Structure 1
Amino acid sequence: MDPTEILITIRKIVRSINLESKKIQKEYGVSIPQILCLSYLHASKNYQSTQGEIRKFLNLNSSTTSGIIDRLESKSYLVRLPKQGDRRVVNIALSSKGADLLKRIPPLMHDRLTSKLTTLPNIELQQIQDNLQTLVSLLDIENVEASPMITIEEPINPNKPEKN
């Protein structure tokens, strides 16, 4: 088999992620990490969380997470609420406008893939994992941190964050 076919397959995956991201941004005015932030809040107790918890979930640095939250707040998709009893702590809460946006956005590629992967037998899942791990080793990217979701908007260089 020609290794070029493997590279083409990887490019298809990366391009599909990129196209989904651009489509969501164009149609809904939000980035994939912004959607993930809103989804995290939607799944959180009382639709609230702290910025630190959101940062950990998104696996992004503090300034990038802060930018995501700022942009969502400026669009009224979430609000900042001082924590009762400790005004030094601010909770980030999903607004009704943010919840409405989540209802309109179609399932992301990550969700569709997760759903399909759960239908595969464990032996096939293990083969996929082993093959992907081989690619990670060949690319010497074992130490690269990964987001919990499929997205391309993460900073490539952790010392120079990209804007979302």
Structure 2
Amino acid sequence: MELEDFEILCDTLLVNNSELKRISILELLANEQLLSLIKNEKILHKISRKSYIHNNGFIKIVLIDKRPHYAIRLHIWPNTEINNASAHNHPWDITVKIISGEYEWINCSIYNLGNKNALLYNCIYYNNYNSHKIIFLKNVKLNQDEIISYKKGDIFDYSKNIYHTIKKINKIT
């Protein structure tokens, strides 16, 4: 399957976007299928024009961007631990499949009182999601409510507006 065919499939399945439909798409993406999506130079060039290094230290590769309806992206983390990702939320629900490695997703509560131990950021999108800016909001007290470990093969879903941070663990699986 090529990227254009995959995009048509996603458009069809995600007419009514839901967690179950997002998971079904991610389950289709075995490593071999991912490679076949991007096998020609023209497609790679198109993808590279939309991809960049994220503020949290990973490379964001944008395969399909139909926001606000949906987007399919790969996040490639460096072979080093990252334990200082910014506390942030997302303005959309996300469904994630771990293809390689592992990390911890740390759900947080944000407080304005007490010892301020973290920086809080907000992601703002412009021009119909064609560009964005991460802006510093304020110093806050960050409480770690829940730490969930994810590894290769895991698929998980998170609702929008949950503040979280990520600890990338330096293990390749």
Q: Where on the TM-score scale, by shorter chain, does this alignment land: which range?
A: under 0.3
Bigger strand fraction: 2
From the CA coordinates, give the structure whose radius of gyration is larger.
Answer: 1
Which one has a larger percent helix, Structure 1 or Structure 2? 1
**Normalised TM-score (structure 2):** 0.25
